[in-house]
Amino acid sequence: MTPDQTPTSSEKPDVAEIEARAASYDIEEAFPEEDFPGVLLRLVTDAITEGDMARARALFLDQHYADAADIIERMQPDDRSQLVLALGRDLDPDILPALDEEIQDQVLNMMGVSGVAAAIEALDSDDAVAIIEQLDEDERRRVIQALPAEDRAVIEQALAYPEYSAGRMMQRELIAVPEFWTVGDTLSYLRSTQDDLPETFYEVFVVDLRHHPVGRVSPARLLRAQTETSLRDILDKDVEPIPATMDQEEVAMTFRDRDWVTAMVVDDDGRLIGCITVDDIVDVIDEEAEDDMLRLGGVTDSDIFRAVWGTVRARFGWLFINLGTAMLAASVIGLFEGTIERVVALAVLMPVVAGMGGNAGTQTLTVTVRALAMKELTSSNARRVIGKELVVGLANGLMFAGMAGAVSYFWFKTPMIGAVLACAMVVNLVVAGLAGILIPLTLDRLDIDPAVSSGVFLTTVTDIVGFFAFLGLASVFLI
């Protein structure tokens, strides 16, 4: 019997038998051509619909936490609630950090304070802090109070650091040994304390008597060295610890530049207090890229799992501002109402000028926002980059002006319309290039995130300049 078959009540096996069958059932082998998470979702959902929670549990618990998180996110709210309640304390804590924030909040609410506290106790300290900081103040206080004293102290110390800092994202689980030890001392220590070691570690940190880091040793180098060798003779002395207050984006950039796998984190006195591993940096890079992409679109966070009204409220603000800027651009067209009435072709060609300017400006804007985020565009090279974008805008303007002017000439059989369109195209693409770099530079100088509002200002500039240049030139040369 396969897991998607339901036995009758008289022959229904017990939970242990169901779990054994589910564990021996290879879903990927049974459905080689189908999406694995999709198949698992269907099997789990069918089991919940049929009221067979034992089978749903067995299928779900056998999965990797990343696949399990994907399944929870895809489920309908009612099915999700039933599954989480049926799992109880058997829900893998590693699933929680992998969930979307909206779904994570729902799951945490269903787990209750004691359940959340038990999950946090089982997680690495960095993941535990990431979960805790998502809770509201009251829930956070109650969960922290439910933790053992040692875990509570770790969480509270981490929360004392600024949000999005190295102190928030570091993990306290690390291996630090004194510099006067030998390789044999270190290996003996690792063997004797193996139950207390981090599940995964990439380096052994070496510290002095004040717990200041003096170097690092890879496990591979430890295993190759003779037991009587002093750690001072084999450690990597290239120590560049990260302050706990450093912003996580700057930490990620340092990892990228130095090709690190692990970094030491120190407090204000230079004492080693934690470490950051490359898997955390991958998450930071993904979050920062997602954040910039969403902000360029005028939304503050992903709302695919948010309720309809919440999504409407989140998107309303920038749409309202867009309406205002669109009305401003429309008022420019109103200034030339008489010109448009006399030369109807202008109404047909106006979107061409505005659209080309908007697209050209968006290209420059996207590159500029990324360069600012990656610290590639600074005050030292800003003038050169602005000059480059001016030349690029002029070159593209001249080339597309020739093409657009030729098309409009053959379309409307009026040479002057083609010439006016070509001139307006050059003007707007040059202005679009300048606006695409100057707007985010100005916002960055004012300590305003350029990814948040640059697009709105850019669209307004390119529309107004495009309409004004095209219709203004038409009023002079066609009327």
In this model, does residue 6 exceed pLDDT 50?
Answer: no
Q: Residue type for 125, please? A: S
Centroid of chain to Cα 98: 12
Mean pLDDT, range 189-216, rounded to an integer: 89
Mean pLDDT, range 15-36, rounded to an integer: 49
What confidence score (pLDDT) does residue 222 get? 93
What confidence score (pLDDT) does residue 37 get? 65
What is the dihedral angle through the alpha carbons of 282, 288, 294, 296, rounded to the nearest 10 degrees?
-130
Write out the two tokens for 423: 């001139």
Give 238-285 pLDDT, tens digit per residue.
888 999 999 998 999 899 888 898 999 999 999 999 999 998 898 888
Contact 223, 266 (CB under 8 A): no
Domains and CATH numbers, the chain: 15-163 (1.25.60.10), 176-279 (3.10.580.10), 308-477 (1.10.357.20)
Write out the two tokens for 124: 């690495």
Q: Report the C-alpha gap between 100 and 316 in whole angstroms.
A: 22
Contact 394, 426 (CB under 8 A): yes
**DSSP state string for 183-249:** HHHHHHHHHHTGGGS-SS-S-EEEE-TT--EEEEE-HHHHHHS-TT-BHHHH-B----PEETTSBHH
Which region, left, alpha or beta, applies to residue 112 given φ > 0 means left and ψ of -120 to 50 means alpha? left
Mean pLDDT, range 192-206, rounded to an integer: 85
As a whole-number percent, the residues of the chain with pLDDT over 70 amount to: 87
Q: Sign (positive/negative) of CA torsion 265, 267, 273, 274?
A: negative
Write out the two tokens for 198: 């981090």
Give 293-306 pLDDT, tens digit per residue.
666 666 656 556 56
What confidence score (pLDDT) does residue 428 get? 93
